[in-house]
Amino acid sequence: MSKQKAPSERQNSYVTADGRTIGPAVMEMKNITLRFGGVIAIQGISFDIHEGEIRAIIGPNGAGKSSMLNVINGFYHPQEGKIIYKGEVRRPLKPFEIAHQGIARTFQNIALFKGMTTLDNIMTGRLTHMNTGMLSQALWWGKAQREETENRAFAERIIDFLEIQSIRKVPVGRLPYGLQKRVELGRALAAEPSLLLLDEPMAGMNVEEKEDMSRFILDVNEEFGTTIALIEHDMSVVMDLADRVVVMDYGKKIGDGTPDEVRKNQAVIDAYLGVSHD
Amino acid sequence: MAAAETSAARRDTVPRLLAFNAKHYADKPAYREKEFGIWQSWSWAEAASEINKLAAGLLTIGLQPGDHVALLGRNRPYFYWAMIAAQTNGAVPVPVYQDSVADEIAYVLAHCSARYIFAEDQEQVDKILEIQDNLPELRGVIFLDEGGMRKYDRSRLYNYLDVQAAGENATQKQKADLAKREEAQTGADTCAMLYTSGTTGQPKGVVLSNDNIIKTAEASSDFDKLSVNDSVLAYLPMAWVGDFIFSMGQAMWTGFCVCCPESTETMQHDLREIGPSYFFAPPRYFEGVLTNVMIRMEDAGKFKQSLFHYFMDHARKIGGEILDGHTVSTSDRLKYGLGRFLVYGPLLNTLGLTKVRVGYTAGEAIGPEIFSFYRSLGINLKQLYGQTEASVFITQQPDGQVRSDTVGVPSPGVEIKISDSGEVFYRSPGTFVEYYKNPKSTKETKDKQGWVATGDAGFMEKDTGHLRIIDRAKDVGKMKDGRLFAPKYVENKLKFYPTILEAVVFGAGRDMCTAFINIDLQAVGNWAERNNIAYSSYQELAGNPDVYKMVQNHINEINRDVAADEMLSGCQIHRFLILHKELDADDGELTRTRKVRRRVIQDKFKDLIGALYGGKSEIFTKTQVTYEDGTQGSISATLRIEDAVVISVQETAA
């Protein structure tokens, strides 16, 4: 691998190929190592995520991508290394602090409340934006009433944005897979995240559903200015969507840069296609 | 202000109707739309204010009288307003089918040289951008929903709200200009241009004047006593003349409320919430809903099922009679009342049809079973016959004279004559002005006295004065002995059986009629499952002797039915076979809209037709098929040919 300064280490804002201005780094990972007992899931990885960009993490199965996502949102705390989020070094977080830091995510295996409706699932995403006490919420009185109305209005804007009006009152367990993924995205958006993490948003989708989802991801980025980090297996999707790509293999970073740079990177080609040993 | 009042009193243009409604029905709801999960509504006063702002805005961005303004989007109040705002400027609205692909809309937009286009969202704007090089006249595109278009070149793109804001800030001179434009219009000016889908050749732009639309709306509203207290759900394409008459013409004339669903997929749900009193749907909608009800009843518990069937049987017996105002015994009435409480009421509520006072269906023949199902529930479902060139109404069924096999009596103001060849001609106040930029077609369709050829063959029933449509005029032929041959009439009757998916009847120039049958794999498959009949493919099921017997019984019934009709008794089916493959658009046997292509089928299955007329009892055949991925293959089979029971005309007379 070349030792020259990769674009990933650019500290300041830059302009993408399609003319969008990307802000400075919102999150920096420095020499992250994550171990589970004797297993090293992530080994000395550094990269950053800039404000307003779409950042992809790719790699073969077991490369440590999902672990990386869990490190980013604070669910795992790495044994070594430093995470700088919004200019401050992040300490290990308690679960409620994780929820309040402005990072929302979707899961590889859909993690919705199956028995609840689409609307209710999306409303749970608004939880961190509700401040009234349990009693006034139960009585639906005063400030609680106003607050719920505001949050419902926000949820409805997301339903409109994702074009899921027709399933508003349908329990999500009854929905097809592609729509469940969309609802999950809706719930993550409801939290108004500054950083959105998507764990394989297109897994198991057909071509049409993938196109829809790609459009929504681009629209979220454009409309709300949300920074997005995503893991994805479908290379053509990643190369079209992402501004910059991190490539992982066996817990190590083997490539980082724009889709074009990554595509030409020999280490990446070897990891994906295998190397002949003759 | 005085000038505005006198012009409102004239009520001969749509903007004047708007002024009238804003004055007389100021606080009555004019438009509703569900957005963000809540029904938003606008009174006539509010709607008029929105429309006037938009009209002034259109003037400020450069719209001129006589320009064409195209609209691409689903039914939304904003699009109805855009049409009226264009009319206020003396421009002509041209709604376009929004689900058409770019190539299809390209022809329409270029043909009408659209100056401005209202587009719903990014999807529609992208289509226009794709073809804008072919639209030299285009000045601007006005969109409703900005999503995804932040980076688009704005030199010719306008946000709807910005146009309205520009209208609000219009100068006094611009406002005066707008008033002049509005004042200058008369009933003879063009109200709208609607493109017919055109089964042959390119679509034609039908020019309809204010008089056409408003006089038709007035007559048809009186016919069904529509009033300001009615409401309608606008969910059928805006480019279709029916929606234009219901949601623009009649709504503007009577002042009733037009409700727009939240999205195309939520229509059924929104219908239930709104509960319109005036409802139109094509036969396939009623068919689909009925099938759904029946499937869900099959899953219901034993008690519910028996309750449902018991009361539905009762409704079938007397529901229609009650609706038509015939005398029914008190005990039957009481039982029907109980049924309404237990079954009909809840069912209607689920379907969103509780409040329907006037319902219409048109476009194709509707199955008698389906028709009577809805009527027996107490819905005043009627049929009408119309076309774009007539501003919809040619004939319609008056209350109390409703039947599934006629399309009703001539609508008020409409004259009808049947030509020697059997083709239906009409003349009415709604008769269109011309086809836009197409004098040749105009001349072919409309003669000097104003009679318009419908292209349909039909006849007036002597004793009732009802019109019956038999077939497309070009498909109607003569049999060898000169008797009338109307294949589609018989095919439609066959297709009313759920087990028969498609039927093709032959007989032109022959001494008897024969038929190809396609069974409905789903319906017959269900039946086979219940009767423990194993099958592995369509072909095997189609060849099953029990299936043949079932189809034979259906055809015998049809023959009895057809024989009762003196004119059409020659169309009884003597022999038939069940095809070994489903007729398919990929093989060119059907059009993409699933209409039978007679000529292709006649050529392709020449051997089978030969066998039908040659008296054989079975035939071996091999047929080319195209699979979905485009590869070719062939299937072969030995098909059985069966005879059906034919009733001679003398027998029925006896």
ipTM: 0.77
CA distance A198 to A74: 15
Per-residue pLDDT, A6: 44
Collect all residues of chain B within an 8 Å Cβ-Cβ radius of residue A222: 148, 150-151
Residue B630: inside a domain:
yes
Based on the structure, what is the number of domains in chain B?
Answer: 2
Instruction: Show which residues on chain A lie within 8 Å of chain B, measured between beta carbons.
Output: 18-19, 119, 152-153, 156-157, 159-161, 163, 165-166, 168, 215, 218-219, 222-223
β pairing state of B500-506 and A227-231: unpaired
Query: For residue B78, how many other CB atoms are within 10 A of its CB?
Result: 23
> Which residue in the set A165, A219, A222 is minimally distant from B263, CB to CB?
A165
Model confidence at B654, pLDDT cuts 50, 70, 90, reads very low
Domain end among B274, B305, B331: B274
Residue B394: inside a domain:
no
Model confidence at A225, pLDDT cuts 50, 70, 90, reads confident
CA distance B573 to B548: 15
SS3 A245: strand
Q: Name residue A77's amino acid.
A: H
Q: Do B37 and A166 touch (CB under 8 A)?
A: no
Per-residue pLDDT, A9: 47
- For B279-300, how does the pLDDT look when each residue is reduced to its tens digit (9 = 90+)? 999 988 998 898 888 888 888 8
CB B515 within 8 Å of CB B505: yes
Residue A103 pairs in a beta bridge with A195
**Which H/E stretch holds residue A229?**
strand A227-231
Range B505-518 average pLDDT: 92
Q: Do B151 and A19 touch (CB under 8 A)?
A: yes
The CA distances from residue B414 to B207, B365, B396, B426, in Å, are 19, 22, 11, 7
Range B631-653 average pLDDT: 80
Per-residue pLDDT, B2: 42
Q: Do B148 and A156 touch (CB under 8 A)?
A: no
Of the two residues B397 and A236, the one the predictor is more confident about is B397
Mutate to test the interface with A, among B35, B36, B267 (most CBs of A within 10 A): B36
Collect all residues of chain A within an 8 Å Cβ-Cβ radius of residue B266: 165-166
- For B327-379, how does the pLDDT look when each residue is reduced to its tens digit (9 = 90+)? 889 999 999 999 999 999 999 999 999 999 999 998 888 888 889 999 999 99
Q: How far, rounded to the nearest angstrom, does the alpha carbon of residue B98 sit from its chain's CA centroid? A: 16
B647 φ/ψ angles, rounded to the nearest 5 degrees: -105, 125
B650: pLDDT strictly greater than 70: no
Mutate to test the interface with B, among A150, A161, A165, A208 (most CBs of B within 10 A): A165
Q: Do A165 and B148 touch (CB under 8 A)?
A: no
Collect all residues of chain A within an 8 Å Cβ-Cβ radius of residue B36: 153, 156-157, 159-160
B219: pLDDT strictly greater than 80: yes
- For B17-58, how does the pLDDT look when each residue is reduced to its tens digit (9 = 90+)? 999 999 999 999 999 999 998 999 999 999 999 999 999 999
The CA distances from residue A246 to A239, A242, A259, in Å, are 12, 10, 9
Q: Rounded to a whole number, what is the largest CA-CA distance in chain A?
A: 76
Which residue, A35, A193, A21, A176, is CA-closest to A106? A193
Query: Considering only A13-27, B252-266, B277-291, which range has the smallest mean pLDDT?
Result: A13-27
What's the gap in Å between the CA of A74 and the closest CA on chain B? 32
β pairing state of B409-410 and A88-89: unpaired
Residue-range domain boundaries for chain A: 7-102+193-273
Domain end among B256, B274, B292: B274
Q: Do A222 and B37 touch (CB under 8 A)?
A: no
Q: Where are the alpha helices (DSSP H) in B141-196?
A: 160-168, 172-184
Residue B109: inside a domain:
yes
B199: pLDDT strictly greater than 60: no
The CATH homologous superfamily for domain A7-102+193-273 is P-loop containing nucleotide triphosphate hydrolases (3.40.50.300)
- For B546-578, how does the pLDDT look when each residue is reduced to its tens digit (9 = 90+)? 999 999 999 999 999 888 887 788 889 999 999
What's the gap in Å between the CA of A261 and the closest CA on chain B? 26
Q: Which domain holds residue B224?
A: 2-274
Instruction: Show which residues on chain B lie within 8 Å of chain A, measured between beta carbons.
Output: 35-38, 147-148, 150-151, 262-263, 265-266, 269
Task: Record the pTM.
Answer: 0.84
What are the strands, taking DSSP E only, across A113-226? 195-199
For B121, name the nearest residue in chain A, comparing CA atoms only.
A161
How many residues would you count in chain B? 654
The CA distances from residue A187 to A97, A156, B262, B288, in Å, are 18, 11, 21, 34
Range B229-252 average pLDDT: 95
Domain end among B220, B249, B274: B274
Give me the CATH number covering residue B257: 3.40.50.12780
Residue B163: inside a domain:
yes
Residue B53: inside a domain:
yes
CA distance B289 to B284: 9
- For B102-153, how does the pLDDT look when each residue is reduced to its tens digit (9 = 90+)? 777 899 999 999 999 999 998 899 999 999 999 999 999 999 998 888 888 8
CB B186 within 8 Å of CB B90: no
Range B235-253 average pLDDT: 94
A42-48's contacts with Cβ under 8 Å and 24+ in sequence apart are A42/A67, A42/A68, A42/A71, A42/A78, A42/A251, A43/A250, A43/A251, A43/A252, A44/A80, A44/A81, A44/A252, A45/A81, A45/A248, A45/A251, A45/A252, A45/A253, A46/A81, A46/A253, A47/A8, A47/A246, A47/A253, A47/A256, A48/A8, A48/A9
Q: Do B36 and A223 touch (CB under 8 A)?
A: no
Give me the CATH number covering residue B593: 3.30.300.30
Query: Considering only B71-75, B242-246, B314-318, B630-634, which range has the smallest mean pLDDT?
Result: B630-634
Residue A39 pairs in a beta bridge with A36
The CA distances from residue A137 to A113, A132, B211, in Å, are 21, 7, 58
Q: How far, rounded to the nearest angstrom, does the alpha carbon of residue B568 sit from its chain's CA centroid? A: 26
Range A140-169 average pLDDT: 89
CB B551 within 8 Å of CB B644: no
CB B338 within 8 Å of CB B318: no
**Which H/E stretch holds residue B504?**
strand B500-506
Per-residue pLDDT, B100: 77
Residue B313: inside a domain:
no
Q: Do B35 and A160 touch (CB under 8 A)?
A: yes
Residue B584: inside a domain:
yes
Q: Please report, for chain A, how many H helices and E strands are present, in that order.
A: 10, 12
**Which H/E stretch holds residue A248?**
strand A244-249
